Structure 1
């Protein structure tokens, strides 16, 4: 079975479900706090895809409230903002079999290391995304 480094936001409902799927499949997890990791553009960039909008946690309270704007046409500026405020990073970040991954694409993970079962619900979108206060309380 695989060793998975799993950067999560502690207390995140979906990260808990994602870790459970990995553990049920027999994989060993090294769970780390995404928010307290010391991110730099060089350390974060390997996890990110080519589409800048896919880097972003769209449930970030300040984004949802319109208090924060990101210039998606300036990837370096967005990367700097992600490093400065890791809550902006779409999660989880994982290192699986030497590959850096962002988000939880169950099909991709199943092909890469195997899962016993695929989720029967959306475990990427924050279930509290409709409630700003819940996300603010969770991020505190």
Structure 2
């Protein structure tokens, strides 16, 4: 059986909801820290598949939310370089199941393979803290 890898931001409330859903459906994901993982452009890019570059980004990341980074003007290479320097920019979670990979808790190849159909009325990819990145920080 394939191992389900779930790359999260430790302390992220949204990621905790997503993990709870996976566990309630009988899956046992191996949770890894997205922010401290040793990413390279080669290991990170496959998670985004054929999504447009702006969808690679976490819309709640402070630099994205404030407009400090114009994610619509970036090439794939520029986006990857920014994400490698600041992993908080990556749309999370990153999911890996066998040879399948995806970013975000949205309809995609990993959730499809797991038999998970998301409720279109509820956005499990959105930040339940209202996009306040500081509110998701793990306790000191």
Which TM-score band applies after superposition, normalised by the shorter structure?
Answer: 0.7 to 0.9
For normalisation by structure 1, the TM-score amounts to: 0.82
3-state DSSP of counterpart to 2:22: helix
Which digits, 9 at most, give the CA deviation of each residue in 1:25-55, with x for residues without a partner? 1112110010111111011011012211110
Provide the rounded CA distance (Å) in 2 between the counterparts of 1:31 and 1:43: 17
5+ unaligned residues in a row in structure 2: which ranges? Answer: none
Corresponding residue for 2:42? Answer: 42
Q: Aligned residue pairs: how many? A: 136
Provide the rounded CA distance (Å) in 2 between the counterparts of 1:110 and 1:65: 31
Corresponding residue for 2:17? Answer: 17
Which digits, 9 at most, give the CA deviation of each residue in 1:57-104, with x for residues without a partner? 111112222333346342101111011110000001011132011111
C-alpha RMSD over aligned residues: 2.4
Q: Tell me: CA distance 1:34–1:70, structure 2 relative to 1, closer, same or farther (3 Å).
A: same
5+ unaligned residues in a row in structure 1: which ranges? Answer: none
Provide the rounded CA distance (Å) in 2 between the counterparts of 1:78 and 1:110: 25
For normalisation by structure 2, the TM-score amounts to: 0.82
In the TM superposition, structure 1's runs of 4+ consecutive aligned residues that sit over 6 Å from their partners are: none
